A and B are shown apart, each in its own frame.
Chain A
Amino acid sequence: MKFLVGIGSKEYSEPTLNIGSRIAKSFGADLSVVYVGPKPKQIHEGRINLVRDALANWEIYHPGIEILKWAFDYLHDSSFLEEKEEIDVFHPENMVEEKGRFRMVLPARYGQTISLILREGDIIGELRRECNQDDYTLTIIGGSKKRRMAHNLIQYIPTSVLVSENVDLSREYKVLLCVDDSEATKRAVRFGATIAQNLEMAVELLTVSKTTHFGSGYRGAARSAARYLDSKNITYNQQFLTGDPVRTFVKVAGDDHIIVMGLSTQSPLKKFFVGSKPIKTLELGNCPILVVR
């Protein structure tokens, strides 16, 4: 299993890196940290490359490299990486250019396999390219104020997506499993349960119907989710609520839950024009949200 964490800056990426590395560790997954920086206009690209060569002679490196260095140190300090040998092996000269991106070659293993990658361009496009190059299960990324970003993340990233919106590292999070009769709900329940079990988080099982009548599909899905949690010995609280699903998810989640839900099965065209429950939840919510594909 391999997870991808997208980071943007030291100031804003700490929660993303923290939550991403903890989840990766709980799954025993390999982790790739990718920094996506701005791309120079094509018309100036060659000149920028020349300048970067000149800067490297002065041991001044691409600005993204220092963010990767920060991420590497952070993962080490937060005990994601277990120090086995000399840790000071991060050297900018070890960046190799391959497949349209830069990758830091780390000469030793640190108890967990990690890749540090630098890309330039539009964040969604670059994360997509990265996902197409490797077999990732989950992409973890920080929240964004851009409304369209929520749509693009869920619509175009070809893996499950965890958006670490408004993460407070001192807070004790619970997992809010949103259950309905969609195909992806089963996978969402399994994913959410593993996170809750390994990170010792409480679980809320929530099924929301627009009317007071809960159809057999909804009831069956909720029963199946409860059975799965029972089989894993995970304690949970189950709720059946009536109302607009998205607003109810957001209200119940508040800011101290990680919302876990399955990807909508609507057609991509409909999602593009109308949106979907995960997209709207991400737009309205104020807490991390994991959309399982």
Chain B
Amino acid sequence: MIANLIYWITERRWLFVAFATGALLFLLPPPSGLSMAGYRTLVIVVVALVLIVFEPIPLPAVAMLILAFEVIFGIASPDMVAKSFMSDAVFFIMGSLMLAVSIVKQGLDTRLALGIIRLTGNKTWKLVAGFTTISALLSSFIGEHTVAAMLLPVALTLIHYADRDPRKVTGLTSLLLFSIAYGSTIGSIGTPSGGGRNVIMLEYWSQFGIHSITYLEWMKYAYPILLFEIPLTVLILWWTFKPEKKILDTGVRKLVVKVAKSGRMTARQILAIFVFVLIFLGWVFLSDSIGLGIVALIGVFLYLALGLVEWEDLNRNTNWGVIVLFGAAISMGFQMRQTGAAMWIAHLTVDGLSSVISNLPAIRGTVAVVLTTVLSNLMSSSATVAMIGPIVLNMGGDPVVMGFTTAISSAFGYFTVVAAPACMIVYSCGLLRAVEFVKAGWKMALMSIVVLILVSQLWWPLLR
């Protein structure tokens, strides 16, 4: 009995750490310049951060806690909390998770495999370039985990045929798997529909009445970065992981045979692609008026109505807990702005650093990038943007530039498995070690920061 209790306590130690920290902060008086409501919002942020990073309890429970505390601490009325909880960004996250299921269930991965091989042939470096490019371009529209889900079987099949013992082709394995993971990650910055974090930033811009960015405008800002990063990513990966085989002749031949067995493209698959094209056009031309999330939900409706996916499949593969968590995180972000907590932290950070460095614009950008990258590597990119979005938008300077800097640098979580869904997906196949993410990750992060600085300094001013 006592042993069980001790185990329960040790297993949930981070819950106690979070609550103890929260209780301690709660009892302290608010710092000068910060309202009581703002201070209490920050207490919730601290508690939520610990719970999201260390996961001592299920994530939906963290969401419930955030929402309940917002009301109990007198930060907002129940109705206000409910309103800030559900937004177009949450609709988009829900819709995109469901769209991913709908697309993956069509079995288009075999077509994609054939397309890549026709394009690249059997040379390893061409395959790496092909995987990276296709992952980046596709994920910019349909989201990184959808692409990773479709390409991972292709890469694993090639690895399997390269050598039956995966320990003999570790370099090749890392090369192919990272080309999918990092390709998808860099691709996710390209358009708003590339990832939930982009839509969360759009939501904050809209909520804070800062600016309205259309789908095509986002592409103008972010796509050049993505295009620059593709060849650089291939070079970094090739430089970091030495493949044991420079030509994958047998693997490619067997893959073609395997793909050929799946037959010609079916009417259902053609219809599924057609529906996706409609969704994409909706995002480009209608999202301004009806929202990205609603367009995604219309897409889900079409897939369901046309019988291209079953509700049971959507229900089973949609992580409702994540949807609830993002709803709560966005609500928390909204309260951070309403109560002045975001502004207070932003000023504190900028003032503190400006006493050391005189170049304010550089400080703002650097803080946004560093803070986002660190938190993305600890939590996840979307959760990071949801938490610190309101802070960086209050740091001063051009909020559009600050928002883009934050949303884009949230994709720089290359060091750890947890940052990006695509990284976690390739890691889950059991062939990569966590240390390999660091080995390639620091080079990717460095390269991405340089590209971001160059594009933001040389290209973005031309768009303003």
A45 touching B319, Cβ below 8 Å: yes
Select B424's contact among A37, A47, A57, beta carbons within 8 Å.
A47
Does B149 interact with chain A (Cβ within 8 Å)?
yes
- A53 vs B7: C-alpha distance when bound (angstroms): 34
Does B70 interact with chain A (Cβ within 8 Å)?
no
Residue of A nearest to B152 (CB): A51
- A46 vs B94: C-alpha distance when bound (angstroms): 12
Does B148 interact with chain A (Cβ within 8 Å)?
yes
- A54 vs B147: C-alpha distance when bound (angstroms): 11
Looking at the assembled complex, report how far the CB atom of B106 sits from the nearest CB atom of chain A, in whole angstroms.
11
Does B359 interact with chain A (Cβ within 8 Å)?
no
The digit string for B302-336, where 1 denotes a CB below 8 A from any CB of A, is 00000000000000111101100100000000000
- A51 vs B155: C-alpha distance when bound (angstroms): 13
Does B209 interact with chain A (Cβ within 8 Å)?
no
B322 surroundings in chain A (CB, below 8 A) = 42-43, 46
Does A49 interact with chain B (Cβ within 8 Å)?
yes
A42 touching B428, Cβ below 8 Å: no
Residue of B nearest to A11 (CB): B167
A58 touching B145, Cβ below 8 Å: no
B6 surroundings in chain A (CB, below 8 A) = 155, 268-269, 272
The digit string for B138-165, where 1 denotes a CB below 8 A from any CB of A, is 0000000100111011001100100000
Does A60 interact with chain B (Cβ within 8 Å)?
yes
Binds A, one of B97-105, B240-248, B279-287: B97-105
Select A49's contact among B2, B7, B317, B431, beta carbons within 8 Å.
B317
Does A128 interact with chain B (Cβ within 8 Å)?
yes
Does B18 interact with chain A (Cβ within 8 Å)?
no
Does A108 interact with chain B (Cβ within 8 Å)?
no
Which residues of chain A in 30-73 are interfacial with respect to chain B, using CB atoms and an 8 Å cutoff?
37, 40-55, 57-58, 60, 63-64
A54 touching B149, Cβ below 8 Å: yes
A50 and B101 in contact (CB under 8 A), knowing A41-B424, A43-B325, A267-B2? yes
Does B30 interact with chain A (Cβ within 8 Å)?
no
Which residues of chain B in 117-131 are interfacial with respect to chain A, using CB atoms and an 8 Å cutoff?
none
A58 touching B424, Cβ below 8 Å: no
A60 touching B109, Cβ below 8 Å: no
Q: Using a Cβ–Cβ cut-off of 8 Å, how many residues does chain A contribute to the interface with B?
A: 31
The digit string for B413-431, where 1 denotes a CB below 8 A from any CB of A, is 0000110010011001111
Does B59 interact with chain A (Cβ within 8 Å)?
yes
Does A12 interact with chain B (Cβ within 8 Å)?
no
Looking at the assembled complex, report how far the CB atom of B111 sits from the nearest CB atom of chain A, in whole angstroms.
13
Which residues of chain B in 1-39 are interfacial with respect to chain A, using CB atoms and an 8 Å cutoff?
2-3, 6-7, 11
A55 and B156 in contact (CB under 8 A), knowing A41-B55, A42-B55, A47-B149? yes
A50 and B55 in contact (CB under 8 A), knowing A60-B157, A156-B7? no
Select A51's contact among B149, B160, B431, beta carbons within 8 Å.
B149
B145 surroundings in chain A (CB, below 8 A) = 44, 47, 50-51
Chain A contact residues: helix, strand, loop or mixed = helix
A47 touching B107, Cβ below 8 Å: no
Does B380 interact with chain A (Cβ within 8 Å)?
yes
Most buried by B among A41, A47, A52, A128: A47
B101 touching A41, Cβ below 8 Å: no
Does B383 interact with chain A (Cβ within 8 Å)?
yes
The digit string for B397-440, where 1 denotes a CB below 8 A from any CB of A, is 00000000000000000000110010011001111000000000
- A66 vs B104: C-alpha distance when bound (angstroms): 24
Does B58 interact with chain A (Cβ within 8 Å)?
yes
Cβ-Cβ contact count across A and B, 8 Å cutoff: 105
A54 and B424 in contact (CB under 8 A), knowing A44-B418, A268-B6? no
Looking at the assembled complex, report how far the CB atom of B316 sits from the nearest CB atom of chain A, in whole angstroms.
8
Does A125 interact with chain B (Cβ within 8 Å)?
yes
A55 and B152 in contact (CB under 8 A), knowing A63-B429, A63-B430? yes
Which residues of chain B in 367-381 are interfacial with respect to chain A, using CB atoms and an 8 Å cutoff?
379-380
Looking at the assembled complex, report how far the CB atom of B272 sits from the nearest CB atom of chain A, in whole angstroms.
15
- A60 vs B430: C-alpha distance when bound (angstroms): 12
Looking at the assembled complex, report how far the CB atom of A57 sits from the nearest CB atom of chain B, in whole angstroms.
7
Residue of B nearest to A267 (CB): B2
B104 surroundings in chain A (CB, below 8 A) = 50, 53-54
- A268 vs B149: C-alpha distance when bound (angstroms): 46
B52 surroundings in chain A (CB, below 8 A) = 43
Which residues of chain A in 113-164 are interfacial with respect to chain B, using CB atoms and an 8 Å cutoff?
122, 125, 128, 155-156
Which residues of chain B in 159-183 are interfacial with respect to chain A, using CB atoms and an 8 Å cutoff?
160
Select B3's contact among A41, A51, A54, A156, beta carbons within 8 Å.
A156
B149 touching A50, Cβ below 8 Å: yes
Select A41's contact among B11, B160, B380, beta carbons within 8 Å.
B380
B2 touching A51, Cβ below 8 Å: no
A42 and B418 in contact (CB under 8 A), knowing A47-B100, A268-B3? no
- A50 vs B145: C-alpha distance when bound (angstroms): 9
- A60 vs B109: C-alpha distance when bound (angstroms): 14
B319 surroundings in chain A (CB, below 8 A) = 45-47
- A50 vs B146: C-alpha distance when bound (angstroms): 9
Select A44's contact among B153, B316, B380, beta carbons within 8 Å.
B380
A46 touching B317, Cβ below 8 Å: yes
A40 and B424 in contact (CB under 8 A), knowing A54-B149, A54-B150, A58-B157? yes
Select B59's contact among A43, A50, A64, A268, beta carbons within 8 Å.
A43
B383 surroundings in chain A (CB, below 8 A) = 43
B2 touching A42, Cβ below 8 Å: no
B418 touching A54, Cβ below 8 Å: no
Q: List 25 A-B contacts (CB under 8 A).
A: A40-B424, A40-B428, A41-B424, A42-B55, A43-B418, A44-B145, A44-B424, A45-B319, A45-B321, A46-B321, A48-B424, A48-B428, A49-B317, A50-B100, A54-B153, A55-B156, A57-B107, A57-B153, A58-B109, A60-B153, A60-B157, A60-B160, A63-B430, A63-B431, A64-B430
In the complex, the 4 A-B pairs of residues with the closest C-beta atoms, listed nearest first: A46-B319, A63-B430, A58-B153, A268-B3
Given contacts A41-B55, A48-B425, A50-B145, 9 further A-B contacts (CB under 8 A): A44-B380, A46-B319, A54-B104, A58-B156, A60-B429, A63-B429, A125-B11, A267-B2, A272-B6
